[in-house]
Structure 1
Amino acid sequence: MNYRPPRWLPGGQLQTIWPALYSRRVFGSKPGYLRQRWDTPDGDFIDVDFLRYEPAAPASAAPRPLLVVFHGLEGSSRSHYSEAFADLAREQGWACALPHFRGCSGEINRAPRAYHSGDHAEIGWILARLRSAHPGVPLMAVGVSLGGNALLRWAGEVGAHAAQSVDAVAAVCAPLDLAAGGHAIGRGFNRQVYNRMFMRTLVPKALQKLGQHPGLFDRRALLSARDLYAFDNVFTAPLHGFRNTEDYWSRASAKPLLDAIRVPALVVNPRNDPFVPAASLPRQHEVGSHVTLWQPAHGGHVGFASGRLPGHVRAMPDAVAGWLAGRAGLQTGVRAESAHG
């Protein structure tokens, strides 16, 4: 990806914050979704939003290729990158599914657990169900940030069996080394801005979970947590089978399994991402032959704004979808204005 930021948007912090808040996400109307609630094998549920086409396709229409988008930490189908990918899918005539991790669809889930960065079993279950519902069509999956790490973790865990569910996968701004990313977000400007932003939603949702399941964790310890490290130590790690934060960050990271991936996989990491230190990024000799690394100098964390003020965020989705489509045997067109900064 040869991304060049516009002159009015210098630096990784601005390239992260501005696109999420102000840049255009779509080139047409805001995408509409149809929501399905799926019961999980353990008695819980997730909500999956499907791109709605107006007018609806006739029953005799050929099945559409499917793009699956996994969101990041505390994201949803309405995150800026989710709407940009859905807008792209609509332009290309693809179906698009946007699964929500547990508790991220606007309603707290039922089970005494939530979601985490290495939730590869959940990824595998979702993709297998989508493949079953969309047989015989290209199926491409992209994960953003946390969703990207979980997606690559799944692809590495199952190896050649991943091809039964997907034709190609991509991860954008995934914290492949969770310890490096976790420590980065806990320092300086990141701690004051992004850490606080995540804690404002994570802590209330954890308290809702405690209300559902009294005694699940130490309420006082949760309320004293001031960063993701402490939050993961009290909540995320023990609820999902990890000893503590260090164990969670180590065992859930996708980086050690990148050489085990056996389907086409694109890994996009800007080198100025405030959440993902450049020194922690994988090098070519650390990944398998099925993995392509894109590590542009700029882009921030899921930013990639292009064009004139206020910019748009379609440069990255267009580039990623073009790569995925090529591996899935599809033709796709990229907007001219999306190709340049």
Structure 2
Amino acid sequence: MGVTGWLTGHQKLNYTHSDKSATIVLKDGKSTSLSQLCKDAIPPCYLNPLFFNGHLHTAWTVLDRSDPPIWYKRHIFESDDVTYDGTFAVDFVVRNSDSSSPLAKDASLPERTTFFAPEEFDALPSDDSKPMLVCLHGLSGGSHEVYLRGVLKPLVGDGANWEACVVNSRGCAMSKITSGVLYNARATWDIRQTVAWLRKAFPNRPLFAAGFSLGANILVNYIAEEGDSCELQAAVVCSNPWNLDCTNSALKRTWLGREVYLRFMASNMKKLVETHAETIQKNSDVDVDRVRKTRYLYEFDREIQCPTWGYPTEGAYYRDASSVDSLLGVRIPLLGVNAEDDPIAAGECIPFNEFKANPLTALVTTAVGGHLSWFEPSGGRWFARAVSTFPSST
């Protein structure tokens, strides 16, 4: 990159796709290839030149004070899966800009979130044909995350025609765990039930999905499991770790990866367990005291995911839960967005060859961008614009 490129923060967009990229029929009836659609839809990338590597971009996510105002109403679903029983929370975006409204003031829920009244939820189904986006957040996150709201804002803001909802992982976003079992990186059962419910409630809506970080991994696994029966029209996944065994090894290899990122992620997950300790202790396979003593994420997974799901090692869990092989089973148009300097979803673990092998998938990467970051000089996040424009174009 030359001096001009550095000063402007321009990042080259690198596309990876099959030589036989799938044909996509556009809204106007014209046809194009998936690869060309992505190139036409995704905006140029200009990042803050002061954030010259992925660590700086990722660190700024902790300091970022932007606050896109998105309001939600929550419904608690009873799981219809006898193996993975319990409840899970789905937050539906609603149009409400009155900060004094009771909608913004439920202390038991994240800010700007309240519960549907039973009669409100019963009245939700519709025959309208508005496009709808289903979102899956990252590790220990939820519908309140700034990066997620940044994606939703242009789709559901003033004058926009989209509807959207966020499937919260069990125990996240101030939801309750009622089964004693924490979610994992292959927890596809709740998104499956949600999409099935949406298809029944909104038979005419085209359904799209967006996944972020761990939610991206879960989403790709779900889409592959559904195969040709997938009800989604298209999907986009951002900062997907793809190969969890590979990313774990990459993180353990460096001091920053081990002592900053793996510790930070473990700390967040331990807080989640502590919040729900009384319920999780009902799971006789898990020793909560041993979980409390873990320092790194892989130790946490060893004490939680391995005994819960029967994996002999955390490596076995990572290999089974990874979405890298699932990418080959995707049967709907899917866009992946990754930064090669992502300190969490390591660039060396991005499945370039798998994207080349599946005509229904395409990948865009940048050399710089970090994890769910890509901060622009304006303070916005480039990936939020990329994620929101792709579904609108398909």
Q: Determine whether 1:158 maps to 2:226.
A: yes
- CA separation in 1, counterparts of 2:288 and 2:336? 38
Which deviates the most, 269-278 or 34-43?
Answer: 34-43
Letter in 2 for 1:298: V
TM-score by length of 1: 0.86
- CA separation in 2, counterparts of 1:72 and 1:266? 17
TM-score by length of 2: 0.75
Root-mean-square deviation (Å): 2.4
Letter in 2 for 1:101: S
Matches within 5 A, 1:1-341: 1=42, 2-22=44-64, 24-26=66-68, 30-41=69-80, 42=82, 43-54=85-96, 62-91=128-157, 92-162=160-230, 165-186=231-252, 187-207=254-274, 209-212=276-279, 213=282, 215-284=284-353, 286=355, 287-308=357-378, 311-313=379-381, 315-327=382-394
Residue-by-residue CA offset, 1:63-105 (whole Å, 9 max, x unaligned): 4211111000011111111111221221332111011010002
Q: Is the 8 A contact 1:3 1:298 kept in 2?
A: no
Distance 1:243 1:210, change over 3 A: farther
- CA separation in 2, counterparts of 1:257 and 1:96? 25
- CA separation in 1, counterparts of 2:309 and 2:168? 18
Secondary structure of the structure 1 residue equivalent to 2:366:
coil
Residue matched to 2:38? none
Letter in 1 for 2:218: A
Cα deviation, residue 267, structure 1:
0.9
Residue matched to 1:335? none
Misfit runs of 4+, over 4 Å? 58-63, 207-210
Secondary structure of the structure 1 residue equivalent to 2:303:
helix
- CA separation in 2, counterparts of 1:207 and 1:54? 33
Secondary structure of the structure 2 residue equivalent to 1:320:
helix
Secondary structure of the structure 2 residue equivalent to 1:46:
strand
Residue matched to 2:110? none
Residue-by-residue CA offset, 1:187-243 (whole Å, 9 max, x unaligned): 411333332332223224334555320633223432331111111111023213433
Secondary structure of the structure 2 residue equivalent to 1:154:
helix
Residue-by-residue CA offset, 1:152-211 (whole Å, 9 max, x unaligned): 01112221111xx21001110011000122233344113333323322232243345553
- The gaps in structure 1 that reach 5 residues or longer are 328-341
- CA separation in 2, counterparts of 1:171 and 1:247? 24
- The gaps in structure 2 that reach 5 residues or longer are 1-41, 99-122
Cα deviation, residue 12, structure 1:
0.3
Cα deviation, residue 142, structure 1:
0.3
Q: Is the 8 A contact 2:90 2:168 kept in 1?
A: yes
- CA separation in 2, counterparts of 1:54 and 1:63? 21
- CA separation in 1, counterparts of 2:169 and 2:268? 14
Distance 1:209 1:24, change over 3 A: closer
- CA separation in 1, counterparts of 2:277 and 2:325? 33
Letter in 1 for 2:71: G
Aligned residues: 318
Distance 1:244 1:138, change over 3 A: same
- CA separation in 1, counterparts of 2:316 and 2:74? 35
Identity of aligned residues (%): 25
- CA separation in 1, counterparts of 2:175 and 2:49? 41
Distance 1:243 1:85, change over 3 A: same
Distance 1:93 1:25, change over 3 A: farther
Letter in 1 for 2:86: D
Which deviates the most, 284-293 or 6-15?
Answer: 284-293
Residue-by-residue CA offset, 1:288-311 (whole Å, 9 max, x unaligned): 110011111121100011133xx1
Q: Is the 8 A contact 1:69 1:85 kept in 2?
A: no
Distance 1:129 1:241, change over 3 A: farther
Q: Is the 8 A contact 2:79 2:86 kept in 1?
A: yes
- CA separation in 1, counterparts of 2:141 and 2:383? 17
Distance 1:156 1:61, change over 3 A: closer
